Chain A
């Protein structure tokens, strides 16, 4: 299935109640597919002369779980970092809930309020306690009363099973715990979309499970997620779609079953062989 073919997404649309929930500003939203949360159209990006993203097209709808895989350096991080504008792109268009992701400060603010990101190296703020890490953005950016922010924070810390560590500092926690805190921090602004960039790659093997469990829980609750990961077990279990990127482009896109068992392109076949047979 080529990346523009919407057959699979169409099937999903019929079972999604949001299909009728259409925003008026965005004419493209008036589409039988339902409510798109993220739409990348012909996105191109260069680092100097290096063409790092080549004509990327991708649509992700509400509640959809998309897993992105591909060899190192293929542009996976760059692609998802364009969605919350940690990176700029030079051509094409990215829309988050119909809002154009561009230089406009107001748009950027709205986009970042809707999109949260979890990083490979957690990036918790080491000078703040866990609780302060979680309440920082709600209090300062989203102007929540402190009490409410703390309640929300504790709620999410409980959700990731780490509430008892609320008053410790990040460096006192294990990697797995830190990543769970990072997920809770991302959830605190109630984002519609979660981006994960290899959230388990920096973890010791025995801690990967606890982080994946949290992510599975989120997926089952219907969060919209784009996850760059090589955890194929996770992809099989929760992904609606798996995307394979190589050399800056989307090479293949399929449901997990087809993706893993009947890969079409040679490059994906080779990649799967490499990651599954070692």
Chain B
């Protein structure tokens, strides 16, 4: 028998820490790894410097017409001159203060919600009222504001309207569908399953065509149903099926014991789902949900095919201007950059949200 003295805690050896160890471990650990590292560096070398040369070094920023752009660099003058169209489409020029103040209101509301503590009820009220405000502002026809038909809305404005309405409305519908799919009532269950599987088996373009062509058939003749509204309905119901599937995968991560504990405490079905199951299911499925919303955001460009002019469609419009022919490249690069800013922010936000909601290791 023996008794052993306590051992001291030591730092790991130098060879296992620091940047050199990291490089050796991650970039140069095997011949394959070395080959891929070299290939990666080569690709970066061939693509990044020429792009920077085109987009920054040789680029033209000053001036107000195509003649300001000579030589090979990018002509950002084009973007500068057409910025209003990229942002707002055909929205009347003298009314642009309206969408601008809606954008400003979004930022103000966001800052208020984030930086001012407490006041939850006021915040909630403002957030709920915001869509009403935005609609009245953008559409007009009341309170002395001139009417601006939705067919005039375009560019980033339209993209954001479609994406946010689609996201906000598809979420509750998706939750209901997911609950329906879990339901013990056979009719509700099979209807939900049928709906979800049907929609997921159909491309968005088809849904948009159907919303645009088939939907009006359900309305009495003479009712001219707004094209944008049709697109919104189509996108919302399309997206809801994907949201439902995301949430269902979240349900599957919830142990049976959670349902049982809620039942045993006496919670009703809606209390159990709303207070116990859904918050957890949504939490585990946030990365998937955000992925779904990111693809929705990008898919909004498909509304082009039913004659709406979103951000991407504006590239064609502006580059077809006789004074700016051949500016497609600048247009696409700019639009790609805008899309990237939004999708990247969404994905960063989802990371932060996940961390904040993670109650496992706080």
- Binary A-proximity of B347-362 (CB < 8 A = 1, otherwise 0): 0000000000101111
Report yes or no: B261 in contact with A171, Cβ–Cβ below 8 A: no
Report yes or no: B266 in contact with A125, Cβ–Cβ below 8 A: no
Report yes or no: A113 in contact with B266, Cβ–Cβ below 8 A: yes
Contacts of A141 in B (CB 8 A): 265-268, 271
User: Is A222 interfacial (CB 8 A cutoff)?
Assistant: no
User: Is A61 interfacial (CB 8 A cutoff)?
Assistant: no
A189 to B265, CA, bound (A): 8
Given A112-B263, A137-B265, are A125 and B258 neighbors across the interface (CB < 8 Å)? Answer: yes
Report yes or no: A137 in contact with B360, Cβ–Cβ below 8 A: no
User: Is B43 interfacial (CB 8 A cutoff)?
Assistant: no
A169 to B264, CA, bound (A): 21
Contacts of B275 in A (CB 8 A): 136, 140
Chain B contributes a number of interface residues (CB within 8 A of A) equal to: 23
A113 to B264, CA, bound (A): 9
Selected interface stretch from A91-99, A116-124, A203-211, A252-260: A116-124
User: Is B326 interfacial (CB 8 A cutoff)?
Assistant: no
Report the contact-size class of chain A (Cβ under 8 Å from the partner). 20 to 34
- Binary B-proximity of A185-196 (CB < 8 A = 1, otherwise 0): 110010000000
User: Is A127 interfacial (CB 8 A cutoff)?
Assistant: yes
Q: Which single residue of chain A is at the shortest CB-CB distance from B362?
A: A169
Residue among B262, B268, B275 with the most chain A CB within 10 A?
Answer: B275
Report yes or no: A171 in contact with B361, Cβ–Cβ below 8 A: yes
Given A119-B257, A123-B257, A123-B261, are A140 and B360 neighbors across the interface (CB < 8 Å)? Answer: no
Task: Other than A117-B260, A119-B260, give 16 A-B pairs with Cβ distance below 8 A.
Answer: A86-B263, A112-B265, A117-B264, A119-B264, A123-B258, A123-B260, A125-B261, A126-B280, A126-B360, A136-B267, A137-B267, A140-B271, A141-B265, A141-B266, A172-B362, A189-B265
Interchain residue pairs with CB less than 8 A apart (22): A84-B263, A112-B265, A115-B264, A123-B260, A126-B280, A127-B283, A137-B265, A137-B267, A140-B267, A140-B271, A140-B275, A141-B266, A141-B268, A141-B271, A142-B266, A169-B359, A169-B362, A171-B359, A172-B361, A172-B362, A185-B265, A189-B265
